[in-house]
């Protein structure tokens, strides 16, 4: 069996080498030619897995060591009998850490702490703020729980869940626009079906904002219309933006980079634990599919998610302004900053 593994996936080197003919390739080397005689691929978000890559390949199985699957043409894979596995929830606690570290940094920088003793944003709850969580799945559920634990008024916006579970407990995007001080996106990127998310935050949405919120996008770049966000910041509808996922990344908008309060190179999920879980889930999936002896990363981690870590623990665990400074200094190093990232520990 020939297996291609994207070479920037950590904690996987060598583990499958005795069981398959393994090639570790950079994303740009995962091509129709290298895939032609491959039976399986373990990938990240940087390889588009579609007909252009897979037509004529004998690939039967793809594992992506990521939560997102928008880089994979799932319909095509289904039609071709290619099984796809992802890593649900693997790095969700890291994204929650990113979101709250961003909110705390914003609150401090914009003078929104409640009183003088609170100016470092570290010793008080966030009970003077309302938080809209758009997309309440693996990531959004943790974000909503931590928000409530920190005293915020939380609006859960998830029309798909509201349709399946009933509207009680859910708000609408219009409610969020009216009432939220912070709006954070945690949806997949979808272009069709019920409530597609492509450009769900567009000029029309930004014009309805009433509370000059902080807008956070750590979901997928095109969920937010980046040009419209620049205009909304310039026009005073949005007070600040924290952007981890960008339209067109790695070739990101210089205008948005200049204006974003926090600007990071798609590393919200880059915790050490998240990467170990992602690799572990990909290994479980491929070993299960091909009935190989089970292997795991040398280091293992569980899934402990604190109920609501204290603000000072969150701020001490991660400083998004340091990642922002690095990206601003060298925006063309977007991909290099990701590939060389020093995976941070999750907050406990």
Ligand X SMILES: NC(=O)c1ccc[n+]([C@@H]2O[C@H](COP(=O)([O-])OP(=O)(O)OC[C@H]3O[C@@H](n4cnc5c(N)ncnc54)[C@H](O)[C@@H]3O)[C@@H](O)[C@H]2O)c1
Judged by the rule CB under 6 A, the positions of this chain that interact with ligand X are: 67-68, 91-92, 95, 134-140, 157-161, 186-189, 195, 197, 200, 218-220, 244-245, 266, 268-269
Distance of CA 263 to the CA centre of its chain: 14
251 is in an annotated binding site: no
187 is in an annotated binding site: yes
Q: Which one is catalytic: 44, 46, 161, 220?
A: 220
Q: Look up residue 72 and give its DSSP letter.
A: B
Tell me: cis bond preceding 250? Omega within 30 of 0 counts.
yes
In the complex, minimum distance from the CB of residue 88 to ligand DEZ, in angstroms, rounded to a whole number:
9
Among 5, 38, 46, 100, binds ligand DEZ (CB under 6 A): 46
Active site residue 220: yes
226 binds ligand DEZ (CB under 6 A): no
151 is in an annotated binding site: no
Give the nearer residue to ligand X in terms of CB position, either 35 or 99.
99
CA atoms of 243 and 137, how far apart (whole Å): 20
In the complex, minimum distance from the CB of residue 212 to ligand X, in angstroms, rounded to a whole number:
22
What does the block give as tokens for 224? 């937010």
Q: Look up residue 242 and give its DSSP letter.
A: E
In the chain, what are the helix, strand and coil shares in percent, each to the nearest 5?
A: 40, 15, 45
β-strand partners of 240: 214
Residue 51 contact among ligand X, ligand DEZ, none, beta carbon within 5 to 8 Å by kind: none
Residue 346 contact among ligand X, ligand DEZ, none, beta carbon within 5 to 8 Å by kind: none
Q: Which one is catalytic: 239, 266, 308, 338?
A: 266
Candidates 43-51, 110-118, 152-160, 172-180: pick the segment binding ligand DEZ (CB under 6 A): 43-51
To the nearest 10°, the Cα dihedral for 160, 165, 167, 168?
Answer: -140
CB 87 within 8 A of CB 275: no
β-strand partners of 24: 5
Work out the number of other CB atoms within 10 angstroms of the CB of residue 294.
Answer: 8
| Sign of the torsion formed by the C-alpha atoms of 220, 266, 92 and 132 | negative
Give the nearer residue to ligand DEZ in terms of CB position, either 62 or 155.
62
In the complex, minimum distance from the CB of residue 334 to ligand X, in angstroms, rounded to a whole number:
13
68 binds ligand DEZ (CB under 6 A): yes
Report residue 153: phi and psi, to 5°: -85, 120
CA atoms of 249 and 251, how far apart (whole Å): 5
Alpha carbons within 13 angstroms on the beta-carbon side of residue 45 total 21
In the complex, minimum distance from the CB of residue 120 to ligand X, in angstroms, rounded to a whole number:
26
Among 25, 35, 44, 249, binds ligand DEZ (CB under 6 A): 44
Residues at the binding site for NAD(+) are 158, 187, 244, 269
Binding site for ligand DEZ (CB under 6 A): 44-46, 66-68, 91, 269, 338
Q: Which residues are catalytic?
A: 220, 249, 266
Residue ranges of the annotated binding site for substrate are: 45, 66, 270
């Amino acid at each position: 069996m020939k297996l291609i593994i994207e070479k920037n996936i950590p904690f996987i080197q060598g583990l499958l080498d005795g069981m398959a003919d393994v090639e570790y390739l950079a994303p740009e080397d995962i091509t129709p030619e290298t895939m032609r005689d491959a039976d399986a691929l373990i990938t990240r978000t940087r390889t588009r897995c579609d007909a252009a890559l897979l037509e004529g390949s004998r690939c039967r199985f793809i594992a992506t060591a990521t939560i997102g699957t928008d880089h994979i043409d799932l319909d095509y894979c289904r039609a071709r009998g290619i099984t796809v596995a992802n890593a649900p929830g693997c790095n969700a606690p890291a994204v929650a850490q990113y979101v709250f570290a961003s909110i705390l940094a914003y609150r401090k920088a914009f003078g929104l702490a409640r009183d003088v003793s609170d100016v470092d944003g570290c010793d008080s709850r966030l009970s003077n703020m309302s938080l809209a969580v758009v997309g309440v799945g693996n990531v959004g559920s943790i974000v909503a729980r931590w928000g409530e634990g920190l005293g915020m008024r939380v609006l859960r916006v998830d029309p798909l869940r509201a349709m399946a579970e009933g509207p009680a407990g859910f708000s609408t995007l219009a409610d969020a626009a009216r009432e939220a001080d912070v709006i954070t996106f945690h949806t997949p990127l979808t272009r069709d079906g019920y409530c597609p998310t492509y450009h769900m935050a567009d000029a029309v949405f930004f014009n309805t904002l009433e509370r000059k919120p902080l807008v956070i996008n750590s979901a997928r770049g095109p969920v937010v219309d980046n040009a419209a966000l620049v205009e909304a910041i310039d026009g005073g509808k949005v007070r600040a933006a924290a952007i981890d996922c960008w339209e067109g990344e790695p070739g990101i908008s210089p205008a948005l980079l200049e204006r974003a309060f926090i600007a990071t190179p798609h590393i919200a999920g880059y915790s050490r634990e998240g990467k170990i879980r992602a690799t572990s889930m990909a290994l479980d999936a491929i070993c299960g599919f091909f009935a190989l002896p089970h292997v795991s990363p040398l280091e293992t981690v569980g899934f402990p998610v604190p109920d609501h870590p204290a603000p000072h623990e969150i701020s001490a665990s991660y400083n998004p302004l340091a990642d922002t400074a690095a990206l601003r200094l060298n925006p063309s190093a977007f991909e290099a900053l990701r590939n060389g990232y020093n995976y941070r520990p999750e907050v406990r």
